[in-house]
Structure 1
Amino acid sequence: MSKVKIEAFLSVPPCSGGIALTRLLEEIKNEFAEKVELHFYRGPNPRAEELKLSSTPALVIGDLVRIMGVCPDRETVVAALRECGII
C-alpha cells in the first residue's frame, strides 16, 4: 500500500494554530511513519493557490482539503486517515 500524503499549509509568521498543527502532525508521523508522507508549506505558494485555500492553517489528506482555518484535534486527523484506509 502506498503512503497517504498529508499536506499542512501554515502562515508566516506562524500563528498559534499553525504551531499546534505542526506539533500534532509530528505526533501523527511518529505513530504512522510507514503509512504517511508529510509535507509542510509555509507562506504563500502555488499549491495553496491550486487548492484555493483561503486561510491557514489548512490540512489536506490524500486529495481532499480536510481542515481550513483551525488546528484539528487528534481524533479528527485519525478519522480522516481511517477514511483513507490506513488504519
Structure 2
Amino acid sequence: MVKMEFFTAEPPCAGCVALLELADRVAEEYPEVEVVKNVGMCDEFRKYEITYVPALIIEGGKIAFMGLCPSYDTLVAALAEMGVKR
C-alpha cells in the first residue's frame, strides 16, 4: 500500500484547501492508497523537513511536493511511478 501524507496550514490557505480536496479525491478513487491528512504543525513537519505548505509526501519522501498543490494529472503520474494504476 502506498502512503500519501498531505500537509496544510491551520487555517488553510487556498492552496491548502485545494490539496485537501485532492486528498479526498485520491482517497475515493484509489482505495489502495493510504491517505493521511496533517492539518497544522505536527512532528512530521520536522521529520520531512517541510518548510512550505501545502506539501505532499509520498512513500516517506520518495516523491515530494512543497509549496504548491500538484495537479490531479501530476498526482496520477506520481502514483503510477509508485506502481499504483487506475
Which runs of structure 1 show a deviation greater than 6 angstroms over 4 or more consecutive aligned residues?
Answer: none
Tell me by how many angstroms 1:74 deviates.
0.2
Give the deviation of 1:78 after TM superposition: 0.5
What CA RMSD, in Å, does the superposition of the two structures yield over aligned residues? Answer: 0.9
Aligned twin of 1:49? 46
Work out whether 1:31 is the aligned partner of 2:38: no
Q: Deviations over 1:44-69 (max 9, x none)?
A: 11111111010000001112242100
Provide the C-alpha distance between the structure 2 equivalents of 1:72 and 1:86, rounded to a whole number of angstroms: 17
Helix, strand or coil at the partner of 1:77: helix
Q: SS of 2:4's equivalent? A: strand
Structure-to-structure mapping, 1:1-87, within 5 angstroms: 3-33=1-31, 35-64=32-61, 65-87=63-85
Q: Which runs of 5+ in 1 are unaligned?
A: none
TM-score, normalised via structure 1 length: 0.91
Query: Percent identity of the aligned residues?
Result: 36
